[in-house]
C-alpha cells in the first residue's frame, strides 16, 4: 500500500478529444486543483477539490470514492473501467493540473506502465520541476503554451521555457488554445527568440476554443493566419478543435 494520496475529481472512459491522439479510447484521471485562470477554461469544476471522486463506468453507473485517493484505490478504479475493453491502452492524467502532485503522479505513472498502460500527461506546461520528476514514466506529453491574451493569470514564459527544455527531448506536442482575442503575430512574438528553437521539431496543435462565458471562438481567417505563422516555427502544425464536444462526451 502506497501512503501517498491526491485529490481526484473524476475517473472515466472517453475518446481523446484533443491533440495528436484524437479519437483514441482512453481512461481519464482528472486531478482536482489548478493554479491558473484561463479565459477559455471548460473544466472550472476541476479547480475545486470535491469531497468525493466520481468513477463513471462505461455502462453509465457512477460510484463515489472519498478524497484524497491512494494509488491503490485509483489503480483499482482505472482497471475496473479499462478491463472490459482491451482497446484501452492509454490513461490520460489530466486536470485541473496533474503536475501539482508530482509525488503522487510519479509512482502512479510507474504503476500504470507496469500494468501495461501507456501514460498520457495533459498539462498547462508551466511546472518544470514537477515534470522532471514524472517524465521518466510518461509516454506522451500534451503541453500547453498559454498565450497572454487567453488567460487572466500573468504568464511566466521563463517557467514555460524551462518546462519545454525538459519536455522537448521526450515524446511531446505543443498545444495553443486560440480564442478570438489572440492577436496575429502573438505566436511569433513569443517564439522569435533563438532559444525557442528547442521546440521547433515538435508538432504544434492549434485548438480553436470551445466558447465559454469569457472566451469566444476565433474566426477562420484568424486561425488560418496563426497556423501559417506557427508553420514557420514548428515542423508540423495541425488545427484540431475539441472533438469530444461533438460526441457529447466528457
Ligand atoms: S490550466 Fe486547465 S484547468 Fe487550469 S484554468 Fe487553464 S484550462 Fe482551466
**Ligand 1 pocket, Cβ-based, cut-off 6 angstroms:** 34, 36-38, 41, 43, 46, 95-97, 124
> In this predicted structure, what is the pLDDT of residue 1?
41
Q: 13-62: per-residue pLDDT in tens?
A: 999 999 999 999 999 999 999 999 999 999 999 999 999 999 998 888 99
167 Cα: distance to centroid of ligand 1 (angstroms):
19
Stated pTM of the model? 0.95
Examine residue 75 and say whether the peptide bond preceding it is cis (omega within 30 degrees of 0).
Answer: no
97 Cα: distance to centroid of ligand 1 (angstroms):
7
- 80 φ, ψ (degrees, to nearest 5): -60, -40
Q: 181-234: per-residue pLDDT in tens?
A: 999 999 999 999 999 999 999 999 999 999 999 999 999 999 999 999 999 999
2 Cα: distance to centroid of ligand 1 (angstroms):
28
| pLDDT reading at 3 higher than 70 | no
Q: 10-24: per-residue pLDDT in tens?
A: 999 999 999 999 999
Closest residue by Cα to atom 8, ligand 1, is 41
Element spanning 204, H or E: strand 203-208
> In this predicted structure, what is the pLDDT of residue 2?
44
Alpha-carbon distance 64 to 10, whole Å? Answer: 9
Q: Which atom of ligand 1 sits closest to the CA of residue 46?
A: 3
pLDDT band at 63 (very low <50, low <70, confident <90, very high): very high
Q: Which atom of ligand 1 sits closest to the CA of residue 153?
A: 5
Alpha-carbon distance 81 to 205, whole Å? Answer: 29
Q: What residues are paired with 215 via a beta bridge?
A: 212
42 Cα: distance to centroid of ligand 1 (angstroms):
8
Do residues 73 and 102 touch, judged by C-beta distance below 8 A? no
> In this predicted structure, what is the pLDDT of residue 247?
78
Task: Give, for ligand 1, the residue of 10, 47, 124 to mutate: max count of ligand atoms closer than 8 Å to Cβ.
Answer: 124
Average pLDDT, the chain: 94
> In this predicted structure, what is the pLDDT of residue 248?
75
Segment 169-176 mean pLDDT: 97
> In this predicted structure, what is the pLDDT of residue 180?
97
| Architecture of the domain delimited by 5-241 | Alpha-Beta Barrel (3.20)
The 10 Å CB-count burial string (b at 16+, else e) for 20-57 is bbbebbbbbbbbbbbebebbbbeeeebbebbeebbbbe
Do residues 45 and 115 touch, judged by C-beta distance below 8 A? no
What share of the chain has pLDDT > 70, as a percent? 98
Q: 66-94: per-residue pLDDT in tens?
A: 999 999 999 999 999 987 666 799 999 99
Do residues 70 and 2 touch, judged by C-beta distance below 8 A? yes
- 237 φ, ψ (degrees, to nearest 5): -130, 135
Q: What residues are paired with 141 via a beta bridge?
A: 121, 172
40 Cα: distance to centroid of ligand 1 (angstroms):
8
Do residues 191 and 168 touch, judged by C-beta distance below 8 A? no
Amino acid at each position: 500500500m502506497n501512503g501517498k494520496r491526491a485529490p481526484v475529481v473524476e475517473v472515466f472512459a472517453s475518446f481523446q478529444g484533443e491533440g495528436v491522439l484524437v479519437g483514441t479510447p482512453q481512461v481519464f484521471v482528472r486531478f482536482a486543483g489548478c493554479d491558473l485562470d484561463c479565459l477559455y477554461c471548460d473544466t472550472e469544476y476541476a479547480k475545486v477539490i470535491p469531497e468525493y471522486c466520481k468513477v463513471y463506468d462505461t455502462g453509465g453507473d457512477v460510484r463515489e470514492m472519498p478524497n484524497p485517493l491512494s494509488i491503490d484505490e485509483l489503480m483499482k478504479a482505472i482497471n475496473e473501467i479499462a478491463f472490459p475493453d482491451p482497446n484501452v491502452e492509454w490513461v490520460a492524467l489530466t486536470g485541473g493540473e496533474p503536475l501539482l502532485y508530482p509525488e503522487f503522479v510519479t509512482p502512479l505513472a510507474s504503476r500504470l506502465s507496469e500494468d501495461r498502460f501507456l501514460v498520457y500527461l495533459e498539462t498547462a506546461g508551466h511546472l518544470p520541476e514537477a515534470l522532471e520528476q514524472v517524465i521518466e514514466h510518461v509516454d506522451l506529453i500534451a503541453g500547453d503554451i498559454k498565450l497572454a491574451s487567453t488567460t487572466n493569470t500573468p504568464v511566466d514564459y521563463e517557467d514555460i521555457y524551462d518546462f519545454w527544455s525538459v519536455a522537448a527531448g521526450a515524446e511531446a506536442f505543443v498545444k495553443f488554445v486560440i480564442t478570438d482575442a489572440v492577436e496575429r503575430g502573438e505566436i511569433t512574438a513569443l517564439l522569435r527568440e533563438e532559444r525557442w528553437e528547442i521546440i521547433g521539431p515538435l508538432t504544434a496543435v492549434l485548438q480553436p476554443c470551445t466558447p465559454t462565458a469569457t472566451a469566444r471562438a476565433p474566426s477562420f481567417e484568424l486561425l488560418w493566419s496563426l497556423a501559417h505563422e506557427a508553420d514557420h516555427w514548428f515542423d508540423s502544425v495541425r488545427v484540431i478543435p475539441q472533438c469530444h464536444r461533438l460526441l457529447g462526451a466528457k
